[in-house]
A and B are shown apart, each in its own frame.
Chain A
Amino acid sequence: MNRVLRRLRFRIDHGWTPPHASEYLDGELSAGARKRLERHVDDCPECRELLRGLKLLIANLGTLRAGDGELVAASLATSVRALLDQAPPQSR
């Protein structure tokens, strides 16, 4: 591929990569699209950095997942049960 075509492909892929970054990280791109994105990222520090940032972000968002487990569950179950006890009986 000559230089002009390579440059053209780079520019097209540079526009195409960011909107597909999430799907790539979620493993939801087709094999061909994945390959295209990886090829571009190899050549493009800007898109590589974008991908790295999103990957770190997603990993860190996962750390917000845990609540305080049984404590919240038990406390809510107790308060909900108490409120249900106070509520007038419902026809079921």
Chain B
Amino acid sequence: MSSATSGERASEDALLARARDGDMDAFAELVMLHADRLFATLRGFGLSESEAQEVAQETFLRAWRALPSFEGRAQFFTWLFRIGFNESQRRLARRPPAGVEVSSEADPLLDLADRSPGPAALAEAKELRAAIRHALGELPLELRAPVVLRDVQGLSTREAASMLELGEAAFKSRLHRGRMALRTLLLPRIAAGEL
């Protein structure tokens, strides 16, 4: 996933200008544009489905309140992401230290997945994704965030580093450490050919 095209950017800029003037409908359209991506990113950070919904909602509300101070130096999603990232950190910090919550809620991917594979294959895919999410959740956020942005969201190194306000070298180092830690956690599955 990379930056918006110039057409999308122009349309987003127009919505932003209207939203800054207090147009809630324009802001609701911005929410529609970015909600899915923000939600998926928050899930990747280890939030459960309901937590990600709440944090995304809070992120948009904070963004609405702070919109007059948004200067447009960063892309809107980058700015939004930073608010969401801070909210996620707060939410994760409030959790009991017992460990990572593994959501038992329905995996949204299954609702959209190609229906052709049989139930067993779908269950396996779901189980594998849950295992990957669980492993991701075991990483400290400083390693998890680079992996989520680069490998889950598909951002470029440059974009992802900028979102985390890191230099590219520091970002690459964390990304690699995160991947290596994940690989270690998932090694039995890799060895068994499940990945």
Contact = CB atoms under 8 A, between A and B. Distances in A.
Question: A and B bound?
Answer: yes
Interface of A: 18-19, 21-23, 26, 28, 50, 53-54, 56-58, 60-77, 79-81, 83-85, 90, 92
Interface in B2-26: 20-22, 24-25
A69 B39 CA distance: 9
A51 B35 CA distance: 34
B153 A28 contact: no
Contacts of B57: 76, 79-80, 83
13 contacts: A21-B176, A26-B157, A53-B195, A57-B195, A60-B132, A63-B125, A64-B43, A64-B132, A66-B108, A73-B33, A77-B29, A81-B24, A81-B31
B38 to A, nearest CB: 8
Interface residues of B, number: 55
A57 to B, nearest CB: 5
B43 A67 contact: yes
A63 B157 contact: no
Given A28-B172, A72-B39, A72-B108, A62 B32 contact: no
Interface in B181-195: 182-183, 186-187, 190, 195
Contacts, number: 132
B129 interface: yes
Given A28-B157, A72-B39, A64 B60 contact: no
B179 A80 contact: no
Given A22-B179, A53-B187, A57-B195, A65 B40 contact: yes
Given A23-B172, A54-B180, A64-B109, 9 more contacts: A18-B180, A19-B176, A22-B176, A28-B157, A53-B190, A65-B1, A72-B36, A76-B31, A83-B57
A33 B35 CA distance: 40
A56 B195 contact: yes
Contacts of A58: 151, 179
Interface stretch (B61-69, B71-79, B93-101, B115-123): B61-69
Contacts of A67: 36-37, 39-40, 43, 108
B53 A76 contact: yes
